[in-house]
Each structure stands twice: as structure tokens, then as C-alpha cells.
Chain A
Amino acid sequence: MDYPSNMSNSRKVSLIAVTVAVSLGSNYILIGFANLKIMDLLVFISGFMFGSLIGASVGVLIWAIYGVLNPYGFVPQIWIATMLSESVYGIIGGILGRSLSIESLSSNKTLLSILFGAIGFLLTFIYDLATNIAFALTFNVPLIAALITGIPFAIIHQASNAILFGICLIPLLTILERSHRRWDHGVSKE
């Protein structure tokens, strides 16, 4: 997908702002469900559609706000770790978005769903690993103990993201691509 090359700066900024706002809203709605968030999916989608830079920016910005205004508390080291780790979803989304065309999304739906589910799982594994290491270093907890006690939460997080990525990613990308094309068409007419 080659949107970033023909996208104006104001549109980029507005896209980042809207995605961040939607992610933040969903995060606060789902605050009661530990490790069940659609934020990761939205960050990945923003990277996939608009490039790694925008994807990473969305990830960092979401955590810049959500990490500070968080009912579970604010810890600077973990805040930085989550910001950096979240941006990985956007970066990998951008890399995949460059190599996949929208035609391939509609032609290989089953295989792509499996691939996206697996990518969601693996990215979440990296995210959980990084944030658990940051937690252990911050609170001087033995690393192995921190990793092991975090496993139930990590499994829920990874499984939910695998399902979300596997089921929702292709329909969402298809809808967004169509609306984007329509919007682009409308703008060029004017």
C-alpha cells in the first residue's frame, strides 16, 4: 500500500490523532479487562495502512497519554518501555503493509488470517517480554520470577491478540482501504 507518498501532512496528523483517540477510548472502556485491548490492533493497522513512521508514532502517543493517565498508576521506566514496545506493532505493520497489496488481502483470506493471527501472537510475545523485563529491572524483582508470574497475563494478551488479528484485521483493512479510496476520489474531484 502506498498511501504515505501521496498523503498531505495535515491528513497524516489528523489520522494519527483520530487513531490515538479511538485507541485511548477503547483502552479506557476495556480498563476492567486485564490485557484485553484493541489498541495493539489499531496501532498495527495504522502502520499497515500509512507506514511504519505513522504506526510507531501512534503507538508511542497512545502510551504517552494512557501511561500517564492510568488508574493502575504511573511508573516512568515502565511507561517508556511500553511506549517503545507498542511502537513495534506499528513498525512491523508498516513493513508488512509495504509488501502486501490489497488484492492479496482479498485473494488469500484464510492463509492471511492465519498469518496475521500468528503475527499478532508473536508481536504480543515480544511486547510482553520487553515490558516484563522492564518491570523486573524497575522493581528489582528476580527476572525469572517476574517472567513466570506474568505468564497468565501474557497468555491472555497473546491469545486475545492472535484472535483479534486473525479475525478482524482483513475486514478492517478492506473497509479502510475502500473508504480511503473513496475519500481520495472525492478529494481529487474537488
Chain B
Amino acid sequence: MAFLRNKWFLALVCILCWAIAASLLSSYYYYHYMDLITRLERSKAIINLGIDYGNGTRVWFNSTRGLTLYDAMLEARWRVDAESYGTMGLYVKAINGVEQSAEQSRYWTWWMWTSLGWAHGGSACDKYILSNGEVILWYYSYVDPKTFEIKPPP
């Protein structure tokens, strides 16, 4: 067979095989990726997210979507400076340029609205899975340096 002596022909056949295999694999992973994105999008909760800078300024971002509280904060386009503590999750040090202050004993804490009032969020924001209709507020809280008692939002 004359074409066997032509190495370009063999190279072409091999490239064709590689192209088919690569196309098949990429379309398979693309399909699954899109499927996962659609499922995640459907499972995102819609919440009312607020931020209180502790100086009387409180801004609400209603109907914010997210899987976790951290997702919702990013969805609301907040600038979040956080440090990861592994499995314990993220520790938020600054939001929208307002940093925690050890001198003033002010730290960022998040609170959820309940029938009894504001309840302190018990976990890191990236570990908390949101449910539809929740009202969550980030508050630049004063923490008593002696008792570590956190002042809830007004």
C-alpha cells in the first residue's frame, strides 16, 4: 500500500483518532459540568442579606442567591477579606474595606433574624448552608474584651 510509506498519512490518521477521543471526552465533561451548574443553580437559596457597619449605616441586599452564606456575600458583590482555617472554614477579617479592629474591639459577626430577635450565627460563613427566605445580617460588632460577649445588632 503506497500510503503506508507516507508518514504524513499515518500522522493524519493518528491525529484524527486523538481528535475524536478528545472531542468525545470534552463533550462528556462539558455535558456533566453544565448539568451540575444547572442543578446547583436550582438548589441555591434566596435570602435577604444585610450589612451593618456599626455607625448607623445598614444596607440590605434583598433576594440574594447562594448555596452558602459566603456565596451570597460574593453574589452581592461584597469585597470580603477572609482567612481560611481549614475544615473550620473562613474567618472574615474585613468587608468592603472595613477591617476588624483589635484596638476598638470590633469584629465582623453574622446574625440571623428569628422570632426572638437576632441570633448569632454559629459557624463560619462558608460552612453555613442557606435556606430560602432567611434574613442574615453582617454586623461590625463590639466584643467585650473581658467577657468576650458580643453586642447584637440593634
Task: Spell out A's residues near B (CB within 8 Å).
Answer: 99-100, 104, 108, 111-112, 114-115, 118-119, 121-122, 125, 148, 151-152, 154-155, 158-159, 162
Other A-B contacts than A115-B4, A122-B17, A148-B27, 20 sampled, CB-CB below 8 A, are A99-B1, A104-B4, A111-B4, A111-B10, A114-B10, A115-B10, A118-B13, A118-B14, A119-B13, A121-B20, A121-B21, A125-B20, A151-B27, A151-B28, A155-B21, A155-B24, A155-B25, A158-B20, A158-B21, A162-B17
B78 within 8 A of A: no
Hey, which chain A residues are within 8 Å of B27, CB to CB? 148, 151
Task: Pull 14 A–B residue pairs with CB atoms less than 8 Å apart, ordered by A.
Answer: A111-B4, A114-B14, A115-B4, A118-B14, A118-B17, A119-B13, A121-B20, A121-B21, A122-B17, A125-B20, A148-B28, A154-B24, A158-B21, A162-B17
Query: From residue 1 to 48 of chain B, which have CB atoms closer than 8 A to chain A?
Result: 1, 4, 7, 10, 13-14, 16-17, 20-21, 24-25, 27-28, 31
| Cβ A108 vs Cβ B28 within 8 A | no
Hey, which chain B residues are within 8 Å of A111, CB to CB? 4, 7, 10
The prevalent SS among residues of B at the interface is helix
Q: Give the residue name and chain of the A residue nearest to B15 (CB).
A: A118
Given contacts A114-B10, A118-B17, contact A151 B4 (CB under 8 A): no
Hey, which chain A residues are within 8 Å of B20, CB to CB? 121-122, 125, 158
Q: How far is the CA of A182 from the CA of B112 in the complex (A)?
A: 88
Hey, which chain B residues are within 8 Å of A152, CB to CB? 28
* Smallest CB separation, B31 vs chain A (Å): 5
* Smallest CB separation, A41 vs chain B (Å): 17
Q: Give the residue name and chain of the A residue nearest to B26 (CB).
A: A151
